Amino acid sequence: MSGANMLQIENLKLIVDDNPVINDLSLNVDKGEIHAVLGVNGTGKTTLAHLIMGVNYLPDDGKIIFEGEDITGYPISQRAKMGITLAWQEPARFEGLSVRDYLGLSNELETGEIEDYLWAVGLPPFQFLDRAVDTSLSGGERKRIELASVLAMRPKFAILDEVDSGIDVVSLPHIINGIVKMKSLGSSVLLITHSEVAIEIADKVSVMCAGKIFRMGSPKEMCQWFRENCQVCGHINVPS
Amino acid sequence: MITTKEEYEEIVDAYGKAGGDKEALKSREIATLVVHENRVLSANEAEGIRIKWEQKEKGVRAELTVEEGKKIKHPVHLCFGILPKEGLQEIVLKINVQDGAEVRIIAHCIFPNAVNIIHKMDADIKIGNNAKFYYHETHYHGDSGGIKVIPKAKIEVGKKSVYQNTFSLIEGCVGRLDFNYEVSCGEKSVTELVAKVYGKKEDDIKISERVSLNGREARSLIKSRLVLRDKARAEVIGETYGNAPLARGHVDCTEIVDGEEAIAKAIPIVSVKNKEAKVTHEAAIGSIDKKQMQTLMARGLDEEEAVEIIVKGILK
């Protein structure tokens, strides 16, 4: 069930090399909701995810408010300790760090709990627990482990940056299942995606272009609007 | 002067603290050799393994033979150490793994109180045909850094044989390390050399590994993982020579520099003398990966905790 406001983004701006990558962007995410962000490549979706997590950039203007507290200038660790986390579009690889230890980074978990989180994303624990989170994993496996590690953190607010991209059709339902489980465990989710299947599980969808959110609605409405407008648009990412 | 019994118990205790399996040293089924300074405190042969030894003025000369076709069930445990603050230990080690034999050796070199110690190892290893030899050496040093470790080895790997060597020095201060291994690889053999070293304070590390792929279809990997802090410095030279048809070699060196005054150097040398051979290399030197740090911090770890996890993983 959706509830009170969890994340408020007010008039956020980020200029990189004279280019407004995030351009007066405002967005609200309610407690317990899955809020999808839809947009073509290069609209600033990943940059938005990084700004919320405090990665790489600080905004030039605007505010990020989490549970009523202005976190705009907070470092990554502090935001994470407040319950925010991020699943990267291309997750990092770690030599010598086992899946078991990776999932147990945030909380002390029993092996059974770690196994549950792996099962939630369709990975048999007996095959993955003792493997390293390194280059021996396929891209799809690494992404599912990333999602499982976010689940294991039990965050208040999870930013999922294209966790479904590069995933085969057989594995996609496992990713969807993981996101639904995240919501059922009480997390709010900002879901950045291109997949209409993934968007169907969202409570709300915002469409983003040229660093701005300019339309919000139900998954069905927004998917249709996106197909009819964005996919045929001649001025993609040119600020209007 | 301590008695041999006290000396033995003390070194076995240090062996346990360094991660060694103390029970293994007591088992009659497991081949072992325990050397303190220039004294052999215990030696045990097991089925298929013969151990000869001779005490010298400054060390020990030991010869270990794994008999033809014998697959040794339990790993052989070797323990070399010096417990006082000062001393010199020269180990001359000859290992002969005969045709079709298979053995795993776990060696611990222990110098927990070193202030002015020199430990030299001069090894001559012959691995016959269709044999498998795994050698895992772990060093445990104190924190003073007053130690020089000089391991040198010449290894011959026979046809269709496997040789795997792991050298690990991540506990305490390295001091000065001058590691020098040379391997000659026979037809269809597989060689893997792995070195993991954690340099701190004013440690001075030199690792030189040279692999000659002399037999057709011989394969090798030289893998080095170093983390340097404070004023530690390291030079890693990984050389591979593809001298035979279809030989394949790879040199892979990663050095993480996590100190303002630490210095890392990697010198991969790859050479091919046969047009059907192929040797590749990769070397990465630099600070800790930013994205790895951000990922761990996004799970709630502080910067220092994140660095520790990454460093532990690299040296694991």
Q: Complex ipTM, two decimals? A: 0.94
Residue A238 lies in a domain: no
Residue among B189, B164, B33 nearest B99 (CA): B189
**DSSP characters over A39-106:** --TTSSHHHHHHHHHT-S---SEEEEEETTEE-TT--HHHHHHHTEEEE-SS----TT-BHHHHHTSS
Give B19 or A100, the one with higher predicted confidence.
A100
**pLDDT of residue A234 exceeding 70:** no
Inter-chain CB proximity B300 and A105 less than 8 Å: yes
Helix (H, G, I), strand (E, B) or coil at A207: strand
Is A171 domain-assigned?
yes
- Domain annotation covers residue A35: yes
pLDDT at B8: 87
Three-class DSSP category at A170: coil
Q: Using one digit for the tens of pLDDT, what is the confidence trace for A194-223?
A: 888 889 999 999 999 889 998 999 999 999
Residue of A nearest to B302 (CA): A77
Domain contains A239 = no
Rounded Cα gap, residues B37 and B259, in angstroms: 35
Model pLDDT for residues B236-262, shown as the tens digit of each residue: 999 999 999 999 999 999 999 988 899
Cβ-defined contact of A96 to B292 (cutoff 8 Å): no
Cβ-based interface (< 8 Å): residues of B facing A: 225, 254, 289, 291-292, 294-303, 309-310, 312-316
Q: Which residues constitute the domain of residue A121?
A: 5-232
Best to test chain A binding among B254, B295, B305 (most A CBs inside 10 Å): B295
Distances (CA, A) of B273 to A62, B78, B168: 63, 38, 32
The pLDDT tens digits for B82-118 are 999 999 999 999 999 999 999 999 999 999 999 999 9
The A residues from 198 to 237 touching B (CB cutoff 8 Å) are: none
Domain-located, residue A237: no
Confirm if B101 and B128 have CB atoms less than 8 A apart: yes
Q: List C-alpha distances in Å: B225 to A188, B53, B136.
A: 40, 34, 15
Under DSSP, is residue B310 helix (H, G, I), strand (E, B) or coil? helix
A14 is a domain residue: yes
pLDDT score of A169: 86
The SS3 assignment for B188 reads coil
Tell me, yes or no, whether A128 lies in a domain: yes
Section B279-285 average pLDDT: 94
Residues of A with Cβ-Cβ distance to B314 under 8 angstroms: 95-96
Show residues of chain B in contact with A95, CB under 8 Å: 225, 254, 313-314, 316
Residue B156 one-letter amino acid: E
Interface test with B, best of A76, A98, A135 (most B CBs within 10 A): A76
Chain A residues in contact with B310 by the CB 8 A cut-off are 94, 97
Count of structural domains, chain A:
1
DSSP bridge partners of A157 = A84, A188
Q: Which residues pair with B40 in a beta bridge?
A: B35
Look at strands A188-192 and A204-209 and give their pairing: unpaired
Above 90 in pLDDT, residue B170?
yes
**A165 domain residue, yes or no:** yes
pTM of the model: 0.86
In this predicted model, what pLDDT tens digit does every residue of B116-157 receive, in sequence order? 999 999 999 999 999 999 999 999 998 888 899 999 999 999
Averaged pLDDT, B279-294: 94
Check residue B66 and give its pLDDT.
98
Domain of residue A137, CATH code: 3.40.50.300
- The per-residue pLDDT of chain A, averaged, comes to 92
| CB within 8 Å: B298 and A97 | no
Share of chain A above pLDDT 70, in %: 95
Round to whole Å and give the CA distance between B200 and B220.
Answer: 30
Question: Nearest residue of B to residue A133 by CA position?
Answer: B313
> Cα torsion for A30, A31, A36, A41, to the nearest 10°?
80
Q: Which residue, chain included where needed, has tokens 């369709």?
A: A122
Asked if A208 and A178 touch (Cβ cutoff 8 Å), the reply is: no
Q: Where is pLDDT greater, at B40 or A40? A: B40
Q: How many Cβ atoms sit within 10 Å of the Cβ of residue A104?
A: 18
